[in-house]
Structure 1
Amino acid sequence: MTIIKQDDLIQSVADALQFISYYHPKDFIDAMYQAWQKEESPAAKDAMAQILINSRMCAEGKRPICQDTGIVTVFINVGMNVQWQADMALEDMINEGVRRAYNHPDNVLRASILADPDGARKNTGDNTPAIIHTKIVPGDKVEVHVAAKGGGSEAKSKFAMLNPSDDVAAWVLEQVPKMGAGWCPPGMLGIGIGGTAEQAMKMAKESLLDPIDIHELQARGASNRSEELRLELFDKVNKLGIGAQGLGGLTTVLDIKVKDCPTHAANKPVAIIPNCAATRHAHFVLDGSGIAELTPPSLADWPKVDWELSEDVRRVNLDELTPEMVQSFKPGETVLLNGKLLTGRDAAHKRIVDMLNKGESLPVDLKNRMIYYVGPVDPVGDEVVGPAGPTTATRMDKFTEQVLAQTGLLGMVGKAERGPIAIDAIKKHKATYLMAVGGAAYLVAKAIRKSKVLAFEDLGMEAIYEFDVEDMPVTVAVDCNGESVHQTGPQIWSQKIAAMEL
């Protein structure tokens, strides 16, 4: 009989969540570096360089890899010979660990969990509750997997109840292009097949905890249907040419994971859950000896990656922005932003539109300005702002036409592609959309020299801030004519990849 103390589980969960907020797993770093080395698309290679540099900076500074510090998912296996020295329920212990981690004064993590999801959507303030999956298993130990999953990648999850004769690979290849780049590729795809609807989703999520080992599988060959599917999809998904951040390139996925289980004869449930470039998970075992020890990786594990900008790169003064300047931007061009940059994401846009509909004056003049879709992490120490990478831009698409038409806004900065209604609005109003790299939040934050809240302070991280930025790197993703590099890039690179094989 093993006795596990209440605080040992609580503190171990808290320590693990802090650990994964700033340390990528080594297998991820190795796989991303290999992809960077072989990448031939300049835009994709640049994006991966930023992700790798950001990763090392976070490991050194012990600050979050991504501003979206995720919704916590815990898989816990409790041995039948374990006895608890505790007065809290198991889920309450885990949630207390989450609470400690996200309120840690030296590395405050962004609280992103909202209660009453279809009503008030009020932030719980401490990122609880976690999503918890519990098994009672033979043994005298407690085994825990802790993960933090960003909302952008979780939003791209897919599920279908296929017919028994349907081709799983064909369905996956149909879905991946529809996922766009909001899940911040390159990353992993977890696939669950069988069971029931909820079991397929659970298996897809759990598969993402496994280490990246596709190259070892390629070397030894498949020994079952799941491994055959992994190899087939790894090859075919990368041939789509979607590439890093959806800009077009050789690597879209670093690995494909597949879990399956028996299912009803009439069904074939299939789920896809992507894991983004902010891959965050850790494993520990409690054996009664105390708090779990997590061994930090060596900084030698991070490769030295050069990220260089050409001398003729365009620097833009946001304080002197004009329509004519915006209309000169070229698709795929790297731009360095300088000056005052506004922020605003979902809740702020909803409030802006509500005020416009009521004929009310906005608290901030948007004319000839740019707005950055971001919800930053709170600063610690002498930081101006915490990690401040972009959020998925498509969520603001439904607001774009009205905001551009009624405010004189000239441009937007965000993550991933824009949808047809936003592109049409950008073209109509001769505006632009610039893309910052998802998964490089700490690197982006270093370009922010000053920060202050201008409006909607009650929205917390969704308030309207004004950042003073210096050489903040972005890519022209949609120009004033409506040309989108997220459409042209993958098309070009899928054709190049096909030609390479001839």
Structure 2
Amino acid sequence: MSLIKQDDFITSIRNAFQFISYAHPVDFIQAMYAAWKKETNTAAKDAIAQILINSRMCAEAKRPICQDTGIAVVFVKIGMNVQWNAQLSIEEMVNEGVRQAYLSQDNTLRASIVSDPAGLRQNTKDNTPAVVHIEMTQGDNVEVICAAKGGGSENKSKLLMLNPSDSIVDAIVKVVPTMGAGWCPPGVLGIGIGGTAEKAMLMAKKSLMAPITLHELQHKKETNQALSNIEKLRLELYEKINDLNIGAQGLGGISTVLDIKINDYPTHAASLPVAIIPNCAATRHVEFTLDGSGIAQLPTINLADWPILPLSHEIQQYVINVNELTKDKLKQLKQGDKVLLNGKILTARDAAHKKLIDLLNNNHPLPVELRNKIIYYVGPVDPVLDEVVGPAGPTTATRMDKFTGQLLAQTGLLGMIGKAERGPQTVTDIKNNQAIYFIAVGGAAYLISKTIKKSKVLAFPELGMEAIYEFEVENMPVTVAIDAHGNSIYDHK
């Protein structure tokens, strides 16, 4: 019988969320490095390199891998012989640990959780409440998995209610391209098969916490070892999804998924639920066990686990002063061009865009001048110590599509920086307004933040990380995704 103390549990949760904010699992690093070595698409290879370089920087500096430090997800498996020395419930203890982790002055994490989701959507300021799953089992210990799930990947989750005779492989291969690149591939695809709708989704989420073992299945296949039906399914899906040519960040290439993880469960004879949940390039999770002897022991970081890679984007690229950018100069850039941006850019996400559009619709002046400006879709992490800004990687651009046409037409905005593709109407709007859309690498937030030399809030400070900032950047690496002529780097698909 184990006696688990409240403070030990809370401290372990706190330490786990701090740890995963800056430390990728080693198996993920190894799989990403293997993907980099075999990738032949230059743009995709560079994107993977940026992700790996960013990851090593974060492990060394103990700063977040991604500006989206995620919604806290915790799986708690409690042995039935465990006793607690605690006044708080399990969920209350988890939330206290999350609160302490996200408010840490040493490594401040971004608070992204909003309450009243169908109404006011007010930020809770400390990233609570967490999503907690509790399971009772035999034993004397408490087993915990902590994960920080980014919104970009979570938003691409799918639930398919298939007929029993339908092909699972065909259905998944058909739906993956509809997810776009906003989930920041390459990553891991979690799949839940069977049970009920909610059971399938939970299995898919939990499958993402398992180690990356696809290379072991490939070895078994190559050496003619017996494979289970699930293992055969994982291999087939891995091969067919990577054949889709989505690639890293949607740029094409052979590395869309690093592994396919599958959990299954008996289901109704009339049913075949299939849940799909992707984990992005900011895959963050850790598992620990409490046995009553004190706080959890987490993995030790060894920088030798990270490869040292060159950045291919440092060669053959344009250097642009955004303060002097005009539509005539934009026309000279072509989709696929690698660019280093210098000068002042603005930031704005969903909430700020809505406020800007409301002001335009009511003929009110805007609080910022958008003419001849570039907007970066980002919600940065707060800075610590001498940082100008915390990790500041791009957010999914399609969420701003419904605002983009009006802003381009009415304000003289020159362009945007985000991640992943844009919708067809937005591509047309960019072409008609002779604007431009750049992409930065999702999963390289800390690397990007080092190019930001000055930062100040210009408007909507009440929105916190969604306020409009002015960044002064120096050699910020981006790629022309959609040029002023409407040509898109995503047209390879």
- What's the TM-score bracket when you normalise by the shorter of the two chains? over 0.9
1:283 maps to a residue whose letter is E
Matching residue's letter, 2:47? A
Within 5 Å, which residues of 2 pair with 1:56-455?
Answer: 56-221=56-221, 223-309=227-313, 312-455=316-459
User: In the aligned structure 2, how far is the partner of 1:137 from the partner of 1:162?
Assistant: 31
Once the two structures are superposed, residues 55-98 of structure 1 have per-residue CA deviations (whole angstroms, 9 ceiling, x without a partner) of: 00000100000000000111110000000000001100001000
Q: What residue ranges of structure 1 are gaps of 5+ in the alignment?
A: 492-502
Return the alpha-carbon distance in structure 2 between the equivalents of residues 201 and 428 of structure 1.
Answer: 41
Determine the C-alpha separation between the residues in 1 that align with 2:312 and 2:217: 35
**1:421-452 deviation digits (Å, cap 9, x = unpaired):** 21111011110100000000000000000000
Q: CA deviation at 1:312?
A: 4.2
Helix, strand or coil at the partner of 2:379? coil
Q: Secondary structure at the match of 2:164?
A: coil
CA shift, 1:226, in A, is 1.4
Q: Look up the SS of the partner of 1:107 in the other structure.
A: coil
Q: What is the rounded CA distance, in whole Å, between the counterparts of 2:366 and 2:306 in structure 1? A: 46
Cα distance in 2 for partners of 1:296, 1:260 equals 33
Find the residue that maps to 2:139 and give its secondary structure.
coil
**How far, CA to CA, are the matches of 1:205 and 1:295 in structure 2?**
22
Distance (Å, rounded) in 1 between the aligned partners of 2:350 and 2:436: 19
Q: Distance in 2 between matches of 1:305 and 1:428?
A: 40
Q: How far apart are residue 224 of structure 1 and its match?
A: 2.1
Task: List runs of 5+ in structure 2 lacking aligned partners.
Answer: none
Provide the C-alpha distance between the structure 2 equivalents of 1:157 and 1:422, rounded to a whole number of angstroms: 23
Measured after TM superposition, the shift of residue 21 of structure 1 is: 0.3
Checking the alignment, whether the CA contact within 8 Å between 1:186 and 1:244 is kept in structure 2 is yes
Specify the SS of the correspondent of 2:266: strand
For these two proteins, the number of residue pairs brought into alignment is 489
Contact 1:41 1:248 in 2 (8 A): yes
Q: Distance in 1 between matches of 2:265 and 2:56?
A: 38
Describe the SS at the equivalent of 1:263.
coil
Quick one: distance in 2 between partners of 1:81 and 1:312?
63
CA–CA separation in structure 1 for the residues paired with 2:281 and 2:211: 14
Distance 1:3 1:238 in 2: 48
Q: Is the 8 A contact 1:113 1:124 kept in 2?
A: yes
The 10-residue stretch of structure 1 (221-230 or 341-350) with the greater mean CA deviation from structure 2: 221-230
Aligned-partner SS, 1:145: strand
Distance 2:423 2:331 in 1: 20
- Asked if the contact 1:398–1:421 (Cα under 8 Å) also holds between the matched residues in 2, the reply is no
The amino acid of 1:115's aligned partner reads: S
**1:470 maps to what in 2?**
474
1:310 shift after superposition: 5.2
Identity of aligned residues (%): 65
State the Cα distance separating 1:462 from its structure 2 match. 0.3
One-letter amino acid matched to 1:241: N
**SS of 1:282 mapped into structure 2:** strand
**Distance in 1 between residues matched to 2:27 and 2:101, nearest whole Å:** 24
- Give the AA of the match of 1:212: I
The alignment partner of 2:51 has SS state of helix
Question: Per-residue deviation at 1:223?
Answer: 2.9
Aligned residue type for 1:143: E
Deviation at 1:487, TM superposition (A): 2.2
Q: Is the 8 A contact 2:313 2:477 kept in 1?
A: no
Q: Does residue 1:6 correspond to 2:9, yes or no?
A: no
* Counterparts of 1:95 and 1:437, CA distance in 2: 31
Q: After the TM superposition, which segments of 4 or more aligned residues of structure 1 sit over 4 Å from their partners?
A: none
> In structure 2, what is the Cα distance between the partners aligned to 1:34 and 1:18?
27
Write the distance in 1 (CA, Å) between the matches of 2:337 and 2:243.
24
- Name the amino acid aligned to 2:74: V
SS in 1 for 2:447: helix
- Asked if 1:486 is matched to 2:484, the reply is no
